[in-house]
Amino acid sequence: MSTNLIASVTGFGALRSNFGAPVGCIFLAPATNPLIATALGRWVVAGNSGTHTIYLCDLGTGILSLTIKATTSVNTSGATSGQFLYGAITPVQMVASHYYAVLSVEVNTGDQWYDNTGTTCTVNATVAQNIGNAYDLNTPPDFAGFNYNVNNGVQYVPCDLQAVAPSVSTQIGVFLIGP
C-alpha cells in the first residue's frame, strides 16, 4: 500500500506563475525504516494545462550535494484541480536521515502554482520528519542553484511523493538454505 509524503495541505499561499525553474519542497527521511519512493506529484490548480517535469533529489545528510534520483512528468491538461497528480518513477530506496527535495519544473507565465508563504503542509511521519520549501535556479536542478528553508512547514506548488515499505526480502536479503 502506498503512503503519501503529504498527509494534508492545510493552507494555500498566493498564486504565482512568475518563476521559470524547479520549485517544491525539502524533507528529511526518517532515521529508521526509510521507504521506497514510487511516484512524484504536483498539485493541480484550476486552469493548469501544462506538462511538468518533477524531480526527486537526494541531498545527503548535510545538504552538501544534490543527486537526481528520479524524474517523471505529469500533464495537467484535463486533470482534476484541487488535488495532486502523480507520475510513476523507477522505485528509489530512500536512505535513512538523508534530506530529499521534490521539485516541479515551472515555466515563467505558464501554469499557476502556490507561493510558499501560506502553503502549509502536514507530513506523514512514516515518510518524513519535517518539511520546508525549496527551489533551484537551474534546470535540471543542481547544487549550485539550490536554495531551501528546512523545518518551516511550508512549500511551493505544493509537491508530493508516494512511497511503499520495503519488502521483507529487501530489508534482510534473500538467503538460500542448502547443503
- The CATH number of the domain where 114 resides is what? 2.60.120
- 122: which strand partners? 8
Q: Quick check: is 52 in a domain? A: yes
Q: Quick check: is 177 in a domain? A: no
17 confidence band (pLDDT: 50, 70, 90): very high
Q: Quick check: is 96 in a domain? A: yes
**Residue 44 is which amino acid?**
V
What is the per-residue pLDDT across 168-179, written as a single tens digit (0 to 9) for each? Answer: 544 444 445 555
Which domain does 60 fall in, by range?
Answer: 3-172
Q: Quick check: is 178 in a domain? A: no
Q: Quick check: is 17 in a domain? A: yes
Q: How many domains does the chain have?
A: 1
Q: Quick check: is 135 in a domain? A: yes
Q: Quick check: is 9 in a domain? A: yes
What is the per-residue pLDDT across 113-163, written as a single tens digit (0 to 9) for each? Answer: 999 999 999 999 999 988 999 999 999 999 999 999 987 889 999 999 999
In three-state secondary structure terms, 172 is helix
pTM score, two decimals? Answer: 0.92
**What is the model's pLDDT at position 170?**
46
Mention every residue, 6+ apart, whose C-beta is less than 8 A from residue 24. Answer: 54, 101, 102, 103, 104, 133, 134, 135, 155, 156, 157, 158, 159
